[in-house]
Amino acid sequence: MSGTAYIALGGNLGNVEQTMRQAIGRLRESENVDVVNCSGLYCTSPIGTQAGDNFLNAVACVQTSLSPEELLSLCQEIENKLGRVREIHWGPRHIDLDLIAYDDLIIHSAALSLPHPACWYRRFVLDPMTEIAPEWLHPQRKTTVVELLTRLLNRPLILDLSCCDSTFIASTVNMLKTAFTSQELSIVTGNEKDNSEQPTWKILEQTMPQWESSEIVSRMKLTHLSAPTEQALIDMIRSAIDAPQRLADFE
């Protein structure tokens, strides 16, 4: 078996650029992995209340004879050798190697989800991946990386909450208006006239239809968030709105 995989690299502790170069070097040292390409180095805002300082991010493309599970294991082994400590979810870290995609495989297991569940909206993944693989097609959303990124560039980003519980809508609208400006985010609740533009996301309750259909509007079930909370929704939107800054060529 041989396949093409995409690995997102990031970190915000210590000399991150050096650590990321070491991670790429260790991937190259594996006889089963060939690093084909790597994006530039991006500076991104921290996501989450405990994330710490700004992150550096990049995405690498590799050819490998390893299975997805074996490649994930290799990435975790490299993380551990380079000082990764898993204490706080979305917390500060020396290095992070996330397996984003492997060919067009769709995998949902206890150990691995492919494509990465959040890769379709996180700018710190989409921006560098667009640089090296703009035409990679998300196998579930049937949309290329560059198309996914383009959907996030309109301002304000439009969030449709009209399918949610009225109590959730009331509290969430106030919270979102505090977290984001009207230039960043526009909220549709169903109580106002139809917005003239397509919403970027339609937020769905657990019992609603599947999050993606033939429409251009992306669905997001609350249960697809890392935790179905208001803060998780803020973090998701922030990771889609904040534009990474390209610093330099990485390789």
Catalytic residues: 84, 93, 96, 98
Give the residues across from 59 on adjacent strands.
8
List of E strands, 92-171: 96-102, 107-108, 113-114, 137-138, 143-144, 157-160
Q: Report the C-alpha gap between 57 and 51 in whole angstroms.
A: 14
- Side-chain half-sphere exposure of 146, counting CA atoms within 13 A: 7
d(CA 45, CA 29): 31
Dihedral sign of CA atoms 98, 62, 73, 96 in order: negative
218, containing H or E segment: strand 218-221
φ and ψ of 104, to 5 deg: -110, 25
Angle at 218 between CA 213 and CA 224, to 5 degrees: 100
HSE-up of 119 (CA within 13 Å, CB side)?
Answer: 28
